[in-house]
Amino acid sequence: MKMRTLGTRGLNVSALGLGCMGLSFGLGPAVDKQEGIALIRAAVEKGITFFDTAEVYGPWANEELVGEALAPFRGRVAIATKFGFDIAQQGGVNLGGVNSRPAQIKAVAEASLKRLRVERIDLFYQHRVDPEVPIEDVAGAVKELIQEGKVQHFGLSEAGAKTIRRAHAVQPVTALQSEYSLFWREPEAEILPTLEELGIGFVPFSPLGKGFLTGKIDETTTFDPSDFRNIVPRFTPEARKANLALVEVLKALAAEKGATPAQLALAWLLAQKPWIVPIPGTTKLHRLEENLGGAALELTAEDLRKIDEASAKITIQGARYPEHLQKLVGR
């Protein structure tokens, strides 16, 4: 596995990370704990050194799983986690909404350190921007945690360009995590140029379009009642049927390279910038291995031109979030 550096702050990680959320939360029932541990440890054995979790995934269950799974590999891996949702620190109840008050940030950090079984959080993201708390106060709180040795790097998630600049002026931001893929290319307009200017790395989540770009989902696919995709406008049966046009393009181009659509989609992302580190998630070992093949797939300038030309002819149908969640992004 090749390594990459996120931003200019010296965070060196594998070119692909592992998004761990789906093992516990959001995409159907949680996997058996031992299966989750085995998958995470298999990822380490195969060269992945960057693992993504968050307090809200559960809440808490995913951090606990990641902490136990990675306990034997301290010093060999980097763990990213997140604060910013309003979760009661007693009982783990998600109160709804966001909360990035400095006292909450520090309480979350202390609790996450215990669940992750580490002495320092490698990358601590604000999960969503809190409109009630100036971003300067958020950055200042994380700066204090860095000075105390409890956090190494500061990150933001789904923040807008102006917020990124304001935060970066107080405490340099190492990485931004936001959705980016051939299924969602909005970051190219303003976010990527801002990150490049400021020397901030980019961690795309849902790099396979929440599974859609794998080619394994169509308009007849049914999701578990607990699966987040049930409320996503882009995943209505009608939208899925229309959006399969993009998948068909990927299938054809992937076949020319002897690859799968998922591998092509990941290779395309990696080819965009040397400081991009996608974090595809999976619950299955064979999908993990397939994704790793995307990191090994080399695309030529001609390949990239073909992908861009073909995808430009397709208009993706459906919003990527329902309205109540869309309000939380790009602030």
* pLDDT classification of 90: cutoffs 50, 70, 90: confident
**Does 255 map to a domain?**
yes
* pLDDT higher than threshold 90 for residue 267: yes
Task: Report in angstroms the alpha-carbon separations of 191 from 43, 56, 186, 208.
Answer: 29, 25, 8, 19
DSSP-derived pairing of the beta strands 18-19 and 11-14: unpaired
**Does 279 map to a domain?**
yes
Q: Which residue type occupies 244?
A: L
pLDDT above 90: percentage of residues in the chain: 98
* pLDDT higher than threshold 90 for residue 52: yes
**Does 36 map to a domain?**
yes
**Does 134 map to a domain?**
yes
What's the pLDDT tens digit per position in 203-237?
Answer: 999 999 999 999 999 999 999 999 999 999 999 99
What's the pLDDT tens digit per position in 245-257?
Answer: 999 999 999 999 9
If you ran DSSP here, which 8-state letter would residue 314 be given?
A: -
**Does 270 map to a domain?**
yes
Whether 57 is a known active-site residue: answer: yes
The label of the residue with tokens 């106060």 reads 137
- The count of domains in the chain is 1
**Does 49 map to a domain?**
yes
Q: Which residue type occupies 188?
A: E
The full DSSP string for 167-225 is HHHHS-EEEEEEE-BTTB-GGGTTHHHHHHHHT-EEEEESTTTTTGGGT---TT----T
- Residue 82's pLDDT is what? 98
* pLDDT classification of 314: cutoffs 50, 70, 90: very high
- CATH code of the domain containing 106: 3.20.20.100
Work out the mean pLDDT of the chain and round it to a whole number: 97
Q: What's the token pair of residue 314? A: 């397709």
- Residue 283's pLDDT is what? 97
Closest CA to 263 of 307, 226, 312, 208: 208
pTM > 0.95 = yes
**Does 331 map to a domain?**
no
**Does 50 map to a domain?**
yes
Question: What radius of gyration, in Å, describes the C-alpha atoms of the chain?
Answer: 19
Whole-number Å distance between alpha carbons of 86 and 131:
13
- Residue 143's pLDDT is what? 98
Tell me the helix, strand and coil percentages in the chain, rounded to 5.
45, 20, 35
Residue pair 116/83 in contact by the 8 Å Cβ criterion: no
Calculated CA dihedral for residues 99, 198, 188, 181, nearest 10 degrees: -60
* pLDDT higher than threshold 90 for residue 53: yes
144 φ, ψ to 5°?
A: -65, -40
- Residue 303's pLDDT is what? 96
Residue from 57, 125, 180, 321 carrying the catalytic annotation: 57
Domain enclosing residue 72, as ranges: 3-326
Residue pair 89/110 in contact by the 8 Å Cβ criterion: no
